[in-house]
A and B are shown apart, each in its own frame.
Chain A
Amino acid sequence: MLRHVTRKAAGWLLMIAVATNATYFLASWFLDPRSNYQGLRPVRSEAQIDVALAPYNLDPRVPLVDRWWDWLTSVVLRFDWGKSPTGVSVNGEIGYRSLVSAELVVLATVLSVVVGVALGVHTASRQYGWADRVSQAVSIVVFNIPTSVAALAVVFVAIWLNQHAGLHFLYVAGENSPDVHGLLPTIGDRLLHLILPTLTLTLMGYVGYHLTQRSLLLDTINADFVRTAQATGLTRAQAIRRHALRTALIPTATSVAFSVPAIFTGAIITETIFGWNGMGRYFVQTISKNDVHGTVATAAFAAALTAIGAILADIATVFLDPRVRVS
C-alpha cells in the first residue's frame, strides 16, 4: 500500500511540475504586469515601468527563458513563489488565504457529504415513499438556484432573523471581527462568522451527493447479496448499511476527493458575498491584476490539491473495496 502511494505520489509530482511550468509560460505570454503602472499619476514611461518591475523578476526586457529560470530556481531552492507586480509576496498571500479557504471549505464539504449521503441512503431505502419524493423535489429546486441567489437569500434571512428575533450572532460579512482578542474569543468569533457561508456552501454542495448517492444505492439495494445478508439475520437497514452502501460509496468517495480543488478555488461567489479573502477570490484577482506569479502559484496549489485528492480517492477505494488489495 505504502509503495503504491509513493509511486502514485511521484507520478503526480511530475504532473504538477509540468502543469505549473506550462502555466508559467502561458501566464507570461498573456498577462501584462505593466498595466498595473499604466494608470498611475504621474504618468510613467515604458522604461520607468520596466525598471519598477525588474526587482520582481517581471521586467519584459529580460528574455522569458531567463525570467523563468530565475523563478524556477527560487521556487525549487527557497520555495519562494515570487512577488506580485506591486511587490506583495505570493507566499504570504497564499499562506494566509489558503487557511481562510480551508476554514470555509473543509467544514462545508464534510457537511455536504454527510447530509447528501445520509439523505441518499434514507431516501433510497424508501424509494417512492413521501420522504423520498419531498426531499428529491427540494433537492432539484435547490440544484437549480444559482449560488449568488442562494447566498443573498441566506443573507436576507439572516438579517431578518437578527432584526426580528433579536439575534445578533449571524454575521453576514467578513471572516472575523477586528476587535476580538485572546485565543478562545477569537475561535468563537470565527466560528460565528463561519455559520452563514458554510450554510450556503452546504446547501449548494449536498444536492449532488444526495441525488448521485440515491441512484448509486438503488443499483445495489435490491442486489441478491443484500437479500443473502438479510437471510443471515440482519435487519434490512443493517444489510443495506453493511453490504449495499459500502459498494455504492466508492464512486462518491472518488468524486469527493476530486472535487476538493474545485471547491477550494471555486467558492468565489460565496467568498465575495460574505466578504472572505479566500483562494477563490485570489485566483480571480491575480488574473485581473495581471499577476503572473500569483496565477502560477494558484494553479500549482490547485494541482497539488488534485494530486492529494486523487491519492485520497485511491486510499478510500482500497479501504472500501478490499478486492483491490488482492490484485
Chain B
Amino acid sequence: MTLTTTLTDPAAPADATPVLSVRDLWISFPSEAGPVEAVRGVGFDLQPGRTLGIVGESGSGKSATAMGIMGLLPPSATVSGEVLLGGRDLVGLGDKELSGVRGNGIGMVFQDPLSALTPIYSVGRLLRDALRVHQDLTKQAAWEQAVELLDLVGIPDPRERAKSFPHEFSGGMRQRVVIAMAIANKPSVLVADEPTTALDVTVQAQILDVLRLAQRETGAGLVLITHDLGVVAGYADDVAVMYAGRFVERAGVDQLFRRPTMPYTARLLAAVPTVDSGVHRPLVAIGGEPPTPADLPAGCPFASRCAVALDACRAEEPALREVTGHGHVACLRADEVADGTLDPAGPEGAADEHPGPVRTGAGEVVLRVEDLVKTFPITKGALLKRRVGTLHAVNGVGFELRAGETLGLVGESGSGKTTTLLEVLRLRRPEGGRIEIAGTEVGTARSAADVRELRQNVQIVMQDPLGALDPRLPVFQLLAEPLQAIGRDRDAIRTRVHELLTLVGLDASVGDRFPATLSGGQRQRVGIARALATEPKLLALDEPLSALDVSVQAGVINLLARLKRELGLAYLVVAHDLAVVRYISDRIAVMYLGHIVETGDTEAIFADPKHPYTRALLSAIPVPDPQRERTRERTVLRGELPSAARLPAGCVFVDRCPLYRLAGEDVRLRCRTERPAPSVVAGQPGHAYACHAA
C-alpha cells in the first residue's frame, strides 16, 4: 500500500489580505533573575493558504511565539505588540474573549500526540466537544461531524474508532486526531508546533500529508514551527529563522535555502546531517551554545559563535532589514553575504576535521551476535496472569562488529532495535542464539569477576543526558564512580577524570559542576566521558543525539568520530534519524519487526537500497533543499508498524510492501508463505537483503 507523490507548490495568491499579522510581539516571563525576554519583537504576515515555517533551536522562543498567538501563555507572562487575526487585535484580550477565538479562528496542532489528548474521553467525544464549543449543534449532529472529520484525516473505520480512547491509538493516529480537532471549526489560521517531532520518519511523512490536506480543506494559513530544516524545505512557502527570541532571517523558502544570508542560518544548514544523494559533505559544527534567554549578550546574540563577526556586532544588536533580492536579515554584513563576497563560515571555516566515517581498518571482532531471539509474554488477567500470546521483539538477528567500526541499527519504533541493544548490554545468556563480546561468549562467564570484566568492555551512552546523570552528583563524582567500581585508587581516579574531561573536549572546571548547570551538549559529553571511563571496547549508543539541538549535534558527531579514530572503539548505534546514522555509521542494519531486512555498508545502502522497506524509509526523510524536496519521488508507506504479537508466516513486511502489490502471483505466494533469507548483492560484499520480490 503505497502512494507515490510529487510535491507541488501550492497555488500562492499574490496579494490577498493577510489572515494573521503579528506586529512587534514581545513576550517575557518572570524568573528569579528578573524578567526573561523569550520573544523580542517578532513580526510577520500570513496569507490564507500559505505556510510560514518558523525554524529555531530550543530556547529560541518559537514555541512561546506560538503560544502567544494562541493566547495560551501562562497568566504570569507579559505580552505586548499586536496579533491581528482578521483585523482584530488579540493581545490584551481576556481569557473569555480569547476562548472565542481559539479553535474557531485559530486551530493548533501540538508536539506530543501521546499527551495532547485527554485520556479519559473517547476521541469522538473530544471532537464532538471541540465542535460544540463554537457551533450550536446537537450531540448527535456533532458526533456525525466528528466521524466525518476522523475520516478526513485518514482514520480507518472512523465510525467504530470514534468510540475508542486515545490510548488505543498509535502516535501517528493520535496526531491525526489532534489535527482533526484543530480543523474542526474551519479556522483561518493553523498553528503547528513541532507536529512531527515525536513521530517516526515514515509516520512523519503521512502526518505532513494530512496537514497539507487539512490546510487545503480549510484554506487556512499555517504557521509551522519546527527545528527540522528538511520539513521546512518541503513544506513552507516562507521561512523565518529564530535565534534568541528574534527573527534573524526571513525569506522565501527558495531564496533562503539557495543563499542563506544570516551567518547563523548558513552555519545551521552546514551543520545538518543530510541524506542527500551524492557525496558526503563534512559537517561543520557551529561551536559554542545558543545563549540562554535570561542572559543575553549586548550586541548580536550570535556574535560570540559567528566566524565573521565584527567589533560593531558586539556593540549593538542589528535590526531586521530588507536585503534586495533576498528577504529580511538581521546582520550587519548581510549585503556582503548576499552578493557572495563573504563566506559566512569564515576564512578558517572549512572543515577542520573530516568527520565522515573513517574506517580504521578491520580490527578484531568485538561483538558477534548470532541468531538472537527475544520474546515477551503477553499476559491477561489481574490476579492470575495467564499467557495469551508472545511478542517477538527480536527474531533471529545476527551481525558482527569489529574494533574501529560503527554499526547503525535503524528502523521505526517497535522494530526491535533498542531490544537488541539491551540484550547485548544485559550480559546474560540470551533466550535464543548467542552473543560474543571480545571473544567471550556471554553467559559462559563463571565467576563474578569474569562478568565484571565483561561489563568493563561494554558501556552505554543514553538518549537523554539529563535523565542519565544523577542530578545530585558533581561531574567529577559521576566520572569517578565507574572507576571506583573497578577498584582504582584515588590518585589514579583523579588523573583519569582529568584525562576524560580533556578527551571529550570539556574544561577541567566542569568537574565541580552539577549536571543541571551544564548545557545539553556538555551533558552528553559528560555521558560519553563516563562511558569511556573504564576503557571499554564496545560503546552502545542509544539515540545519542536526538535530545540535542542541531547546532550542538554536529559537535558531538565530530567528537564521536574522533574518539573512535583515536581509541579504536566499536560503536553500536541505535538512532531513528537516518541522516545522523549516515554520518556516524560504517555499516547499517535496517530492522523491521525484529528482523534485519537489509544490511550493508552505509554508502552502499544509501546509494542503492534494495529492500522496499529501506527504500521507503530513506525516501521518507525530508531533505533540507526545497527544489529537491519538492520534486523528488517519494514512497510514502501506508499504515504503521503492525504488532509483533502475530507475525505473518512469510515475509514480515508483506502487509505494507509496495513491491508485493505489483508482484506476480507466484512471487506473492512466496512472500506470504516463505520467510525470505538474506541474499548478497552481486559485486557488493557485505550488502545483503531479505526480499523475494526485489
Contact = CB atoms under 8 A, between A and B. Distances in A.
B178 A228 contact: yes
B134 A233 contact: yes
Nearest to B97: A235
A247 B115 CA distance: 14
Interface of A is mostly: helix
B130 interface: yes
Interface residues of A, number: 25
Contacts of A66: none
Contacts, number: 78
A225 B117 contact: yes
Interface in A220-262: 223-238, 242-243, 246-247
Contacts of A238: 99
Contacts of A224: 110, 112, 115-116
Contact of B120 (A227, A231, A235, A323): A323
A234 B133 CA distance: 7
B372 to A, nearest CB: 33
B375 to A, nearest CB: 24
Interface in B505-521: none
A129 to B, nearest CB: 9
B181 A228 contact: yes
B110 A232 contact: no
A228 B117 contact: yes
Given A223-B115, A224-B112, A225-B115, A320 B95 contact: no
Interface string B134-176: 1000000000000000000000000000000101100000000
A238 B133 CA distance: 11
Contact of B184 (A223, A232, A237): A232
B95 A233 contact: no
A322 interface: yes
Interface in B167-226: 167-168, 178, 181-182, 184-185
Contacts of A247: 118-120
Contacts of B72: 227, 230-231
Give the interface residue-count category, chain B.
20 to 34
A326 B100 CA distance: 34
A244 B181 CA distance: 18
A320 B121 CA distance: 10
A321 interface: yes
A224 B167 CA distance: 15
Given A232-B181, A233-B100, A243 B118 contact: yes
Contacts of B165: 322-323, 326
A323 B115 CA distance: 16
Interface stretch (B101-109, B251-259, B401-409, B666-674): B101-109
B122 interface: yes
A238 B134 CA distance: 14
B163 to A, nearest CB: 9
A323 B169 CA distance: 13
Contact of B122 (A226, A232, A322): A322
Contacts of B118: 225-226, 228-229, 243, 247
Contact of A225 (B99, B119, B133): B119
Nearest to B115: A224
A321 B134 contact: no
Contacts of B112: 224
19 contacts: A224-B112, A227-B110, A230-B99, A231-B72, A231-B103, A231-B107, A231-B108, A232-B129, A233-B101, A233-B102, A233-B130, A234-B99, A235-B99, A242-B129, A247-B119, A247-B120, A321-B120, A322-B120, A323-B167
Interface of B: 70, 72, 95-96, 99-104, 107-108, 110, 112, 115-122, 129-130, 133-134, 165, 167-168, 178, 181-182, 184-185
Per CB-CB distance, the 9 closest pairs between chain A and chain B, nearest first, are A233-B103, A232-B130, A232-B103, A233-B133, A224-B115, A231-B108, A225-B118, A235-B99, A224-B116
Given A225-B115, A232-B181, A238-B99, 9 more contacts: A226-B118, A228-B108, A231-B70, A233-B101, A233-B104, A237-B95, A320-B120, A322-B120, A323-B119
